[in-house]
Amino acid sequence: MSSFLAGFRLIKAGWVFAREGVVAAMPREGLSGPALTAHKIATKMSRRRAGRLNNVERMNNAITRLGPSYAKLGQFLATRPDIIGLDLAVDLATLQDQMKQFPTAQSIARLEDSLGAKWDTFFTRIEEPVAAASIAQVHPAYVRMPDGSEKKVAVKVIRPGVRQRFQKDLDTFFMFANLQEKYFPATRRLRPTAIAQTLAQSTRIEMDLRLEAAALSEIAENTKDDTDFRVPKVDWVRTGRNVLTMEWVDGIKMSDTAALTKAGHDLNILAVNVIQSFLRHAMRDGFFHADMHPGNLFVDAKGDIVAVDMGIAGRIGMKERRFLAEILFGFIQRDYRRVAEVHFEAGYVPPHHDINAFAQAIRAVGEPIHDQPAETISMGNLLTLLFDVTEIFDMQTRPELLLLQKTMVVVEGNARMLDPQFNMWKAAEPVVGDWVRQNLGPAAVVNDARNGIKAGLRLMKAMPELANRTEQLAHEVGAMAENGMKLDPATVKAIGKAEAKESRWGRRALWVIALSALYIAWTLT
């Protein structure tokens, strides 16, 4: 029964996305066969008025009809430009999922359940909500200070029933992913089912506000010595699974350039600060706010940038940071051979490809930028072109690099909104150059040696355990060679279930197709 319900929900979602023009806005390049035919049909099904709207307006209309889960789906797809194209990803990144507010009484009930006491134990006042999104809404509230005064705070409360609703819609997402992999082989490279699993995991994390509080705490610790960027301070006593209490931010939204100018802020300085802050977090810390659209960025009275809503965060390791620094440095120096070598050394491009041919392709990306004024060169677009080229050479999808790329494009857009003549390279050089000197120069040799010694010591400590495991493995291999491999009953049962599931998906697909035809025919009559 759940499969049939998921099928009906899938039909409804497909119909809404087609009618609101969302499918028509998606790139059709590279589509062929049934996928191209479906795109053409969906384009013809779109409402006439949808053609006069931009991508964000179309998606907003569809989300309003489908509910909060699809707002979260849109935000998630914004982190995967390899699937939907960079332009649409950037549009989705700026999507303001303003949903209908729910009553304050429900917020108080969830707050009390999460904190385990009456609301007035923690707060003196809780006011009506000022913002409501797909997963939670925010209330102004007040807490009593030791000196008897009141302090204003922001209280974020999970939307009632959102977890149950999302779980139902998740069944629909998984059905679509399975059908896509089964009937559109060209999309298997993008691993739709794995993407659905990632969406499920990331949303479960986002629905536990203690984890968002931890992300805020981590980035606050990383940036404690920065003079131009901060995040709200978390009130851990008043934070639980369904509620997050943090410092109230008094500031001007970065998107309101007129108000920023009226308040006396220097827009050119803010443009530099927003880029340098992002690069510093990504390259120095390896942890960055991955949802830095203008609605999540405020400027306080001192001119500091205050970032809110850490539901989506990105993390990249030292290997990825070195990779990005070296390719950016290689493009600046026009050393395309070195850029190609970095890709092979990192293992991102399979070794069977010709490094000279790859260097030639990299040159095709890099040379055009040297004929342009520096202020017109987009680092985000450069990375986009680079990933387009690497796809030809079988570079596997790297979600962490794609999330970084998407965020960089959004942040760069923020800077150019503040300063249309913004010079990305001049602003980035102090941060990137300092990181290169510390991590790719002589200092890097010392750091690598220190890390190598630490790794060696850890290996020595683990040697006894490794020896025991090796001996156990040798005994098991010997027994297998003598008696043959045996599967335990649980494994045999799992294999049977997998085979049955594969058969059921084929039958379900036929039912979904038939029901889709009936639903569309009924709607058009």
Mean pLDDT rounded to a whole number for the chain: 78
pLDDT over 60 at 1, yes or no: no
pLDDT recorded at residue 179: 76
The stretch 52-59 carries a mean pLDDT of: 73
pLDDT recorded at residue 96: 53
Point out the least confidently predicted range of 102-116, 337-351, 378-392: 378-392
CB of 249 closer than 8 Å to CB of 306 = yes
pLDDT recorded at residue 156: 96
pLDDT over 90 at 395, yes or no: no
pLDDT over 90 at 399, yes or no: no
Point out the least confidently predicted range of 11-15, 210-214, 336-340: 11-15
The stretch 386-408 carries a mean pLDDT of: 72
Task: Kindly indicate the confidence band of residue 273, based on its pLDDT and cuts at 50, 70 and 90.
Answer: very high
pLDDT recorded at residue 329: 76
pLDDT recorded at residue 49: 73
Report which of residues 469 and 158 the model is more confident about: 158
Going by C-alpha positions, the residue among 278, 257, 297 that lies closest to residue 420 is: 257
Active site residue: 291, 309, 335, 419, which one? 291
d(CA 184, CA 151): 56
Report which of residues 332 and 355 the model is more confident about: 355
pLDDT recorded at residue 524: 44
Contacts of 195-203 with CB under 8 Å at 24 or more apart are 195/80, 195/83, 196/170, 198/76, 198/399, 199/72, 199/73, 199/76, 199/170, 199/173, 200/170, 200/173, 202/76, 202/312, 203/72, 203/76, 203/135, 203/166
Report the SS3 class of residue 304: coil
Residue 184 neighbours by CB distance under 10 Å:
17
pLDDT recorded at residue 125: 95
Report which of residues 202 and 43 the model is more confident about: 43
Which residues have a Cβ under 8 Å from the Cβ of 241 and sit 6 or more positions away? 114, 158, 208, 209, 210
pLDDT over 80 at 314, yes or no: yes
Query: Which of 302-311, 446-455, 459-468, 502-511 tops mean pLDDT?
Result: 302-311
Task: Kindly indicate the confidence band of residue 22, based on its pLDDT and cuts at 50, 70 and 90.
Answer: confident
Point out the least confidently predicted range of 62-66, 100-104, 228-232: 62-66
Point out the least confidently predicted range of 379-383, 501-505, 517-521: 517-521
d(CA 10, CA 7): 5
Report which of residues 480 and 42 the model is more confident about: 42
Task: Kindly indicate the confidence band of residue 521, based on its pLDDT and cuts at 50, 70 and 90.
Answer: very low
pLDDT recorded at residue 158: 93
Output the six-digit token pair for 215.
């992300």
pLDDT recorded at residue 503: 53
pLDDT recorded at residue 333: 76
Q: What does the CA dihedral 459, 464, 470, 473 come to, rounded to 10 degrees?
A: -130
Amino acid at 21: G
Task: Kindly indicate the confidence band of residue 460, based on its pLDDT and cuts at 50, 70 and 90.
Answer: low
Catalytic: 291? yes
Task: Kindly indicate the confidence band of residue 525, based on its pLDDT and cuts at 50, 70 and 90.
Answer: very low
pLDDT recorded at residue 94: 58
What's the 3-state SS for 110-123?
Answer: HHHHHHCCCHHHCC
pLDDT over 90 at 350, yes or no: no
Q: pLDDT digits over 179-228, tens only?
A: 777 766 666 656 677 777 777 777 777 889 999 999 999 999 999 999 89
Report which of residues 499 and 154 the model is more confident about: 154
Task: Kindly indicate the confidence band of residue 118, based on its pLDDT and cuts at 50, 70 and 90.
Answer: very high
pLDDT recorded at residue 259: 94
pLDDT recorded at residue 522: 46
Q: pLDDT digits over 125-149, tens only?
A: 999 999 888 788 999 999 999 998 9
Going by C-alpha positions, the residue among 94, 102, 84 that lies closest to residue 30 is: 84
pLDDT recorded at residue 477: 63
pLDDT recorded at residue 216: 95
pLDDT recorded at residue 168: 79
pLDDT over 80 at 71, yes or no: no
Q: pLDDT digits over 359-374, tens only?
A: 998 888 888 776 677 6
Output the six-digit token pair for 47.
């409402």
